[in-house]
Structure formats: structure tokens, C-alpha cells
Amino acid sequence: MHHLTVTMAFYFDTTNNNKYLRMTTTNEKHALILGASGISGWALLNQVRTYPSKTSFTRISAQTNRPLSKKDALIPDDDRINLFNGVDFTKSVEEVKKLFQEKVKEIDTVTHVYFTGTSPEVT
């Protein structure tokens, strides 16, 4: 049985070597969706792509638990979407930070973070 044990929002400040990401003050919006291959994450991904308009988000970064193509995930071809995997949230904060910096183009522009995943209950 899986339970949601932690709601995570990552804020990494890559310029000051901190563990926090400063959110940008630009009008452009960049969504980071964690758990995009699950039913809730997939639905959320499709909503931020089009609602309230197709131009609401200029970039959408979507993390999946396993390798998955847009075609296999039934996600329309959209240049704003970066689908990525290979982030293990059980690793240290520094390791997770490094993975996000490698996999998310312009991570420092993220304005919205959505966590839709689950994790095994920690005892």
C-alpha cells in the first residue's frame, strides 16, 4: 500500500550555492510537475498545457517515474514540454538537486511546482 508521505517543493538557488531556488519575477510561467505519468499528474500536465489558455505556461517540465515518451504517454507534441525521468527522491538533497539541474532546462525559471506522486510509507 502506498501513502503520500511528503509534499515536496524544490527551491534551488544555483547562483549562491544554497539549497533553495529563487522563484523568478518574470511574467513567463514555468511549471514543474512531479509525478506526471500518474493519473493525477497526467491530467494536470494536460491542463497546464491548455488552461486557462495555451499561452499561460511558456515551459512545462514533467518528471516521470520511468522512461516514457510523449507518444507513449499520449501527450500531444508540444515544444514547451520537457518530459524527463531518473530522479530518485530517496537520495540526498544535493543528489536530487544535481539531477534536477541536469534534467530541467532553465530550472531557475520555475514559477509553479506540482507534486502528484506517492511514496512508500516510511517506518
Q: What are phi and psi of 109, to 5 degrees?
A: -100, 0
pLDDT higher at 83 or 123: 83
Task: Examine the pLDDT at 7 and tell me if it is beyond 70.
Answer: no
pLDDT of residue 27: 78
pLDDT of residue 18: 53
Which residue shows C-alpha cell 517543493? 9
Mean pLDDT, the chain, rounded, equals: 81
pLDDT of residue 121: 60
DSSP assignments along 32-98, one per residue: EEETTTSHHHHHHHHHHHHSS-TTS-SEEEEE-SS---TTTTTPPP-TTEEEE----TTS-HHHHHH
pLDDT of residue 13: 47
User: 11-20, 55-64, 97-106 — which is least confidently predicted?
Assistant: 11-20
Reading phi first (left if > 0) and then psi (alpha if -120 to 50, else beta), residue 76 is in: beta
pTM, rounded to two decimals = 0.76
Q: Give the contacts of 59 (CB within 8 A, at least 6 positions apart).
A: 28, 29, 30, 31, 80, 82, 105, 106, 109
Task: Examine the pLDDT at 47 and tell me if it is beyond 50.
Answer: yes
User: 7-16, 67-76, 107-116 — which is least confidently predicted?
Assistant: 7-16
Quote the CA–CA distance of 68 and 42 in Å, as a whole number. Answer: 12
Task: Examine the pLDDT at 71 and tell me if it is beyond 80.
Answer: yes
Contact in structure between 118 and 4 (CB atoms under 8 Å): yes
